[in-house]
Amino acid sequence: MRLVPSPRFKHPGNLKGFAIPDPRFPEFKESSVEIDLRRCEFVESSAVMWCLIYLLSAKGKGAQCTLLVPENMRVCIYLQSLGIFGVLKKNGVEVDDRNVPVGDQARLILPLTDFESESSVEKVANDVVLELIDSGLGAPNIHPVVADTFSELALNAVQHSESNVGAFGYIQYHESVKVRRFICAVADGGIGIRRSLEQNPGLRARVPYDWVAIELAMQERVSGTQDPTRGMGLFGVAEEVRKAQRQLLIHSGIGALRIEEELQSRAWRTKLFPGTLAYASIPC
């Protein structure tokens, strides 16, 4: 199976076709998976994490997996700097990244990092605080917001995802003519928000679709654990995002939801993310 994204690969929803096999399920029978980025002139965070999780999940099912890197060297250096090539190769995915240097285009606070437990998230979060201080990037009063947002999204992944490939995340500083911002991206290859909420008997009948489950997960005291006191959850992250031009994107299964300042967004049906992706943009 070959998947060929558009040259400006912003989000898995950009993929052509409707039936992308889900590598989490026993029905997945693909013997090989190839994601072809050769024509890509732009690859956004959501798309990066989709490539990572899809290939790792397919590899876990025994498929021969390959990532064809962009011919555009600038994009290649960016992806190399994030660390995705190294993570994929470490896990047996074929990536021909010869002569692609590691540059500083990504301006990373935290390179692509895996975590499988609450203790590993705590350690990473502590490292993030120190890196933010040392970086001198962004306003100091935003640093705790960035660290707390990343920590909560990462905790949500390790506590609820039941992911066979673990969870991954990174933090990046991005500066353009219009805005300076921190980007927090976390993704896992787990059961997804809908199946997580279904584990709570009181919610099972209320989540027929992924997009409905995401909307419900954004409500206060809604959890698959039946423990209303566990952290601030996605609801808390969403409430923090409704400030000062921040954004939050959640993509789980075939549902997605974007939350922006003072806007009540309605979830939509989209292309498959085999697990859950959380992407937060925080101006600084």
Q: How confident is the model at residue 103 (pLDDT cuts 50, 70, 90)?
A: confident
pTM: 0.93
Q: What Å distances lie between residue 107 and 6, 138, 171, 182, 199, CA to CA?
A: 25, 12, 9, 10, 39
Amino acid 221: pLDDT: 59
What average pLDDT does range 276-282 have in this prediction? 96
Q: Is the pLDDT of residue 232 over 70?
A: no
Q: How far apart are CA 258 and CA 206, in angstroms?
A: 21
Whether 95 and 67 have beta carbons less than 8 Å apart is answered as yes
What average pLDDT does range 5-12 have in this prediction? 94
Strand order in the sheet with 64-68: 2-3, 32-36, 64-68, 94-95
Amino acid 229: pLDDT: 46
> Terminal CA-to-CA distance of the chain, rounded, Å?
41
Question: Residue 193 corresponds to which amino acid?
Answer: I
Tell me what the pLDDT averaged over the chain comes to.
91
Structural domains present in the chain: 1-105 (3.30.750), 107-284 (3.30.565.10)
Tens of pLDDT, residue by residue over 247-265, are 999 999 999 999 987 666 7
